[in-house]
């Protein structure tokens, strides 16, 4: 396992120098955040990003993410041109030695929460999702805002984008994903890049929009549709773990055993209702995900890829991007490294 840390570039209040001080840190997970979605990433910009990361003693371990344009998800005529641009980006990333690209196929909205600063009894704040609250929200009116979202849409553009999905079924979305995979995965395989799709977050439909990467059956369908070493999964314990029906250990053992887990997001959530949860510390006893067992399953299946602590609480008065503070994620990384080191020292694989 290679411990990594998410970094949002030079504007991130968490610096590479601070990340460097976390014990056992191998690589950085980042992206180019100023390239419009749908355009090919410039080779010079990729190279400069790699130089910056490596100058601090890190590997550029994962690009998270190369966003998929909505026209591709909708199957519009422009998708072939946009897929060509995406392919060019993958080739350029491969040429610079980037081993893994994390991406998602969620319509319109990336990961979604109903509150960014819910105060826990210990005084820290965390991200929450409450289905009842989301049901009353109107994203067009600006009820929703999250770090990392594309906030360049006007209200009219957002309404048009949501309206464009009227009548789009889960099967329609799946067929558009299949079309994308059939064209991108061969390019990635040739470029030496492993594509790792991120599960839906949360793993159920929101705002009437379909979700198609939410459970074991859906994951199996997409991974086997184009059966290639380059077609893999970002295993996210928090996203999949929000649905109590998802057997996380079985998912790891099945797809990890096939060598299909290329990247791991290990974070904990506390389920507070059938479709509600709050994010917790990474510790197993603080949430609904048994992180010790999750890492044990990854270890047993021979996982040797990048893994990162995911969303953390905001603790000790830290200000900044909700979910992406330094302190709690650093504690999470240390906790996860401790579990992994214990497995290495006390267990023997198969």
- Per-residue pLDDT reduced to its tens digit, 233-258: 999 999 999 999 999 999 999 999 99
Mean per-residue pLDDT, 265-286: 96
77: pLDDT strictly greater than 70: yes
What is the per-residue pLDDT across 46-67, written as a single tens digit (0 to 9) for each?
A: 999 999 999 999 999 999 999 9
Cα R_g (the chain), whole angstroms: 19
Q: Are 264 and 303 in contact (CB under 8 A)?
A: yes
* pLDDT of amino acid 148: 45
Average pLDDT of the chain to the nearest whole number: 94
Q: How many C-beta atoms lie closer than 10 Å to residue 282's C-beta?
A: 28
CB burial of 84-100 (b: ≥16 within 10 Å; e: otherwise) equals ebbbebbbbbbeeebbb
Note the helical H segments in the chain.
16-20, 43-54, 70-74, 79-95, 131-136, 155-163, 170-191, 216-225, 237-241, 248-251, 257, 291-300, 326-346
Q: Which two tokens stand for residue 291?
A: 């992180």
pLDDT grade for 99, boundaries at 50, 70 and 90: very high
CA angle, residues 35, 40, 45, in degrees to nearest 5: 60
Cα-based distances in Å from 286 to 20, 48, 258, 283, 329:
27, 40, 31, 5, 15
CA proximity to 232, closest of 75, 39, 102: 102
Q: Are 198 and 239 in contact (CB under 8 A)?
A: yes
Catalytic residue numbers, as ranges = 198, 236, 265, 310-311, 324
DSSP of 54-74: HTTT-EEEEEE--PPPHHHHH
The size of the chain, in residues, is 350
Q: Lowest-confidence range among 67-71, 148-152, 177-181, 203-207?
A: 148-152
Cross-sheet strand order for the sheet of 276-279: 115-119, 125-130, 276-279, 269-273
Q: Are 19 and 55 in contact (CB under 8 A)?
A: no
Cα-to-chain-centroid distance, residue 182: 21
Q: Are 167 and 67 in contact (CB under 8 A)?
A: no
Q: Are 296 and 346 in contact (CB under 8 A)?
A: no
The helix/strand/coil state of 101 is strand
Structure-model confidence comparison of residues 182 and 349, the more confident one: 182
Q: Are 52 and 30 in contact (CB under 8 A)?
A: no
Alpha-carbon distance of 286 to 283, in angstroms, equals 5
Q: Which two tokens stand for residue 211?
A: 């979700």
* In CATH, 2-342 is 3.20.20.150: yes
The pair phi, psi for residue 302, each rounded to 5°, is 80, 25
* pLDDT of amino acid 62: 98
Mean per-residue pLDDT, 221-243: 97
Mean per-residue pLDDT, 92-102: 98
Mean per-residue pLDDT, 274-287: 96
- Find all residues with CB under 8 Å of 282, minimum gap 6, and list them: 266, 267, 268, 291, 309, 312, 331, 332, 335, 336
The helix/strand/coil state of 306 is strand
Q: Are 66 and 86 in contact (CB under 8 A)?
A: yes
CA proximity to 342, closest of 278, 275, 295, 276: 295
Note the helical H segments in 143-192.
155-163, 170-191
- The answer to whether the peptide bond before residue 311 is cis (omega within 30 degrees of 0) is no
| Structural domain boundaries in the chain | 2-342
Alpha-carbon distance of 301 to 255, in angstroms, equals 9
């Amino acid at each position: 396992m290679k411990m990594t840390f998410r970094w949002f570039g030079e504007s991130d209040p968490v610096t590479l120098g601070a990340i460097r001080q976390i014990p056992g840190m191998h690589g950085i997970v980042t992206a180019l955040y100023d390239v419009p979605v749908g355009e090919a990433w410039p080779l010079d910009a990729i190279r400069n990003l790699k130089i910056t990361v490596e100058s601090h003693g890190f590997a550029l371990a994962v690009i998270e993410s190369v966003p998929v344009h909505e026209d591709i998800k909708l199957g519009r005529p422009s998708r072939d041109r946009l897929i060509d641009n995406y392919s060019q980006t993958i080739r350029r990333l491969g040429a610079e030695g980037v081993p893994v690209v994390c991406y998602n196929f969620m319509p319109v909205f990336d990961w979604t929460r109903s509150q960014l600063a819910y105060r826990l009894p210990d005084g820290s704040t965390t991200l929450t999702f409450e289905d009842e609250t989301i049901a009353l929200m109107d994203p067009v009116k600006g009820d929703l805002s999250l770090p990392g979202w594309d906030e360049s849409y006007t209200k009219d553009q957002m309404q048009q984008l949501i309206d464009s999905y009227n009548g789009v079924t889960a099967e329609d979305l799946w067929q558009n994903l299949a079309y994308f995979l059939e064209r991108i995965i061969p390019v990635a395989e040739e470029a030496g890049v492993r594509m790792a799709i991120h599960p839906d977050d949360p793993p159920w439909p929101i705002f009437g929009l379909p979700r198609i990467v939410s459970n074991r059956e859906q994951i199996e369908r997409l991974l086997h549709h184009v059966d290639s070493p380059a077609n893999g999964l970002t295993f996210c314990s928090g996203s999949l773990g929000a649905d109590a029906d998802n057997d996380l250990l079985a998912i790891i053992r099945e797809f990890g055993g096939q060598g299909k887990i290329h990247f791991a997001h290990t974070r904990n959530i506390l389920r507070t209702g059938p479709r509600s949860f709050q994010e917790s510390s990474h510790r197993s006893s603080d949430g609904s995900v048994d992180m010790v067992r999750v890492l044990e399953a990854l270890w047993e299946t021979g996982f040797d890829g990048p893994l990162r602590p995911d969303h953390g609480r905001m603790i000790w008065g830290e200000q900044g991007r909700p979910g992406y503070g330094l302190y709690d994620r650093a504690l999470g990384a240390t906790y996860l490294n401790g579990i992994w080191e214990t497995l290495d020292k006390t267990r023997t694989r198969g």
